[in-house]
């Protein structure tokens, strides 16, 4: 009996630590970043190598894992434009044109380093599978692979704070592992109603040397919407959602 107990004890000591469930961890990171359905305001600032800046203000709404819409409030030249994303499909509405036109994830309706996939971002778990999870120091490092070829980035390396389970840095990569851009998450802020998350996201890219784009988040609130809000016919009416 004593030998059996010794053997069992030895097995317990030798047993590996319980592996982190990467899929559940990624879903938790998504929810910590944003509620399932929400509204928010954002300012996006594009900075050129010569120091010139261009600023945009957007009102954005999201429902579930695949519905996102945004309305441009400033500058005056962009006011009234809106964008819509349904899964992999994206559109831009320009008031003077009157008919939504298709756009792609790798284009950018505002220029700069952020592309349309960054501006109309979905949950990471909706677009990526977790290949493995490492635990360097006080962070998790998630290696993500795109579920389909239509996703903007083939691979992602996501660093997240272990305690807060919020991203601190993301590297966006090609299938071959070439770095496309890096996203930095900064200045964690309490937005109320249990939403505590980074209020600033910055990005730079080796493909756009000297350029930088900054996204500043404000007034993130959980809010439910009808499905009709996320349709082509509603794009001219997103302003009516602002309270």
CATH number at residue 199: 2.50.20.10
The rounded mean pLDDT for the chain is 93
Q: Does residue 2 sit within a domain? A: no
The CA–CA distances, whole Å, from 144 to 55, 76, 119, 215, 232 equal 31, 39, 20, 23, 31
Q: Does residue 13 sit within a domain? A: no
Instruction: Give the pLDDT confidence of 9-58 residue by residue, as tens digits.
Output: 444 444 344 578 999 999 999 999 999 999 999 999 999 999 999 999 99
Tell me what pLDDT residue 8 has.
Answer: 44
Alpha-carbon 102 to chain mean position: 21
Q: Does residue 234 sit within a domain? A: yes
Query: How many domains, in total, are found in the chain?
Result: 1
Q: What is the mean pLDDT of residues 132-138?
A: 95
Q: Which of 160, 156, 171 is nearest to 137 (CA)?
A: 160
Tell me which residue range forms the domain holding 80.
Answer: 20-241
Q: Does residue 196 sit within a domain? A: yes
- Strands (DSSP E) contained in the chain are 38-47, 53-63, 67-74, 82-86, 89-93, 101-103, 128-134, 139-146, 155-161, 167-173, 179-192, 195-204, 212-222
List the helix and strand counts (H, then E) for the chain. Answer: 4, 13
Q: What is the mean pLDDT of residues 204-225?
A: 97
* CA atoms of 41 and 217, how far apart (whole Å): 6
- Considering only residues 98 and 241, tell me which one the structure prediction assigns the higher pLDDT: 241
Q: Which of 124, 112, 96, 106 is nearest to 43 (CA)?
A: 112
Q: Does residue 177 sit within a domain? A: yes
Sequence length of the chain is 243
Q: Does residue 96 sit within a domain? A: yes
Backbone dihedral angles phi then psi of residue 42, each to the nearest 5 degrees: -140, 150
């Amino acid at each position: 009996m004593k030998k059996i107990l010794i053997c069992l004890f030895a097995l317990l000591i030798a047993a590996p630590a319980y592996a982190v469930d990467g899929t559940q961890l990624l879903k938790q990171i998504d929810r910590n970043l944003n509620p399932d359905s929400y509204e928010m305001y954002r300012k996006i600032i594009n900075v050129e190598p010569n120091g010139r800046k261009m600023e945009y203000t957007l009102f954005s709404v999201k429902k579930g894992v695949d519905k996102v819409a945004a309305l441009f409030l400033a500058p005056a030249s962009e006011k009234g434009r809106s964008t819509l994303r349904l899964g992999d499909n994206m559109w831009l509405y320009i008031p003077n044109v009157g008919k939504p036109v298709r756009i792609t994830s790798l284009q950018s309706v505002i220029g700069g380093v952020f592309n349309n996939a960054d501006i109309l971002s979905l949950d990471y778990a909706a677009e990526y599978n977790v290949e493995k999870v490492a635990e360097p120091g006080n962070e998790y490092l998630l290696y993500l692979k795109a579920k389909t070829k239509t996703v903007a980035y083939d691979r992602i390396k996501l660093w997240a704070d272990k305690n807060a389970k919020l991203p601190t840095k993301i590297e966006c990569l090609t299938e071959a592992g070439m770095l496309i851009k890096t996203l930095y998450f900064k200045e964690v802020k309490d937005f109320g109603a249990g939403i505590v998350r980074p209020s600033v996201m910055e990005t730079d890219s080796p493909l756009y040397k000297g350029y930088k784009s900054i996204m500043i988040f404000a007034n993130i609130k959980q809010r439910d919407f009808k499905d009709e809000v996320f349709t082509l016919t509603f794009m001219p009416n997103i302003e009516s959602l602002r309270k």
